Amino acid sequence: MARILIADDDPDVRESLRLLLELQGHSVEEARNGQEALHRLDTGALPCVIVLDLMMPVMDGWQFRRAQLQNPLHASVPIVVISAVPAHLQRTNELAAHRVFAKPFDYDALLAEVDTICTSAPDAATT
């Protein structure tokens, strides 16, 4: 069972993704903003992937990714970006994201991408 972290301020997005990922047998952690996501990385087992929204209060996805990449223990965890802002999607190469999905996104495609990342990672985080 792979561990996945969802960082999104929209509770409906977090809940729907969590339910779908858990139905596929994954363990899911949730964070409402980048600061909570960093805390989850610091206090628990590392996820095999982070599903990251860019527009969040407190600490947005851009700030989170910069902080994540500065920590050698967390830098290798891949991210899948989700965003509703078209202008942000043009700049996601700055994030070194594994994949980018525009909101509203195709849940099946996102779930397939997460599965691919978690099963192909040499040290896929499992519980």
CB 60 within 8 A of CB 30: no
pLDDT at residue number 127: 43
pLDDT in tens, 31-86: 999 999 999 999 988 999 999 999 999 999 999 999 999 999 999 999 999 988 76
CB 27 within 8 A of CB 56: no
**pTM, rounded to two decimals:** 0.90
- State how far the alpha carbon of 110 is from the alpha carbons of 26, 29, 98, 100, in Å: 14, 17, 12, 9
Please indicate whether residue 121 or residue 101 has the higher confidence score (pLDDT). Answer: 101
pLDDT at residue number 87: 65
- Work out the pLDDT band at 126, boundaries 50, 70, 90: very low
Whose CA is closest to 65, among 45, 85, 43, 83?
Answer: 83
Average pLDDT estimate for 6-24: 95
- Work out the pLDDT band at 124, boundaries 50, 70, 90: very low
Burial class (CB in 10 A: 0-12, 13-18, 19+), 34: buried
pLDDT at residue number 121: 63
pLDDT at residue number 48: 96
Structural domains in the chain, CATH included, are 3-120 (3.40.50.2300)
pLDDT at residue number 7: 98
List all residues 6 or more positions away from 108 whose beta carbon is below 8 Å from its beta carbon: none
pLDDT in tens, 93-107: 778 888 888 888 899
